[in-house]
Structures are given as structure tokens and as C-alpha cells.
Amino acid sequence: MRWIIAAVIGTALGAGTASARPAQGYRAGQKIDLEVASCGDAVCEVRTARAFRVMARAASKDGVDLAVRSGFRSRTKQAALYKAYRKGEGNLAAAPGFSNHESGRALDLYVTRGEALRWLEKNGTHYGFHRTVPGEAWHWEYLADGDREHLHRKPTS
């Protein structure tokens, strides 16, 4: 099954790579360099964007519209979200440097559109996407390339 995912994603590698740009992100509090690309109305890490495009095309063939609400977050954006959360004015948010959005691999998806959530729950893992934050049906992370230790860590939005 993994080779099928790799082959499908491999065919999409050429799609969207021209718009990739460098960004500074964070993973587990450590600065990382990454490349981000367009992913719907947001940006995310390049491999995540490619995999999402493949998954969204498959969902579309099933009559389901998948759309990204939020993807990569800068440290500044994460700090603002965390501050609002701590004041009781926002959703759950991890401390800056510790949000999986800062790695570019976490996506908040619109899941209230039609059958989106049901389709993701049934098919998301086939494309490397996992729902990793209990209670947040919209939060999905791309973990297809062996980075599954996130599934055993404390969730971070």
C-alpha cells in the first residue's frame, strides 16, 4: 500500500512545485527550514501540499469538496493565536514553536461541507493524512513519510 501512495504522490510531484518558497518553521520547539507551497487558500509544506492535491482530486471524483481553512503558521501568527487562547478568546492553540502547523504539515480543513468529514475518516489515511487532535475534527496532519511518532505525542494545534 505504501508504494501505491508513493507512486500516486510521485506523479503529482511536478504539480505546484514552481510556487514553492522557503520558510522558517518549528518542530518540537526547534527551528527548521522548510519549503511551503499553495494548498488551496493557504500554504503548507511542499510534500503536504502535493499529497493534499492528490487527495482532494480523489475526493472530488467521489463528489466531495475538500478545502483548506488554515495550514502553515509563522511563529508570529502562532504567538497571536496562543495569546488569544490563553485569554479565553480563541480556540485551543499550542505555545509558539510547538504547534504542528508551524511544521507546515498540519491542515485545518472545512469539514462541515457535505460529506467531507465522513470521506476523510474513511480515506484520509490512504493519502497519508491523520486526524491527530481529539475533539478537532478539522485538524489533519500529513504523516505519510514515516513521521508517525506524532500520533503518540500530546496533540498540538
Structural Rg of the chain based on CA atoms: 15
- pLDDT per residue, tens digit, the chain (157 aa), is 443 343 333 434 444 444 899 999 999 999 999 999 999 889 999 999 999 999 999 999 999 999 999 999 999 999 999 999 999 998 889 999 999 999 999 999 999 877 999 999 999 999 999 999 988 999 999 997 655 444 444 445 5
Q: Other C-beta atoms within 10 Å of 29: how many? A: 10
Residue spans of alpha helices (H) in the chain = 2-11, 46-61, 75-86, 116-123
Is residue 70 within 8 A of residue 101, CB to CB? The reply is yes
Residues 6+ apart with CB under 8 A from 49: 16, 36, 37, 38, 39, 43
Residues 6+ apart with CB under 8 A from 92: 85, 133, 135, 136, 157
Q: Give the domain ranges of the chain.
A: 2-152
**Check whether domain 2-152 has CATH 3.30.300.130, yes or no:** no
Return the DSSP state at 88. Answer: T
Q: What is the pLDDT of residue 10?
A: 42
CA distance 57 to 63: 10
CA distance 51 to 43: 13
Residues 6+ apart with CB under 8 A from 64: 114, 115, 116, 119
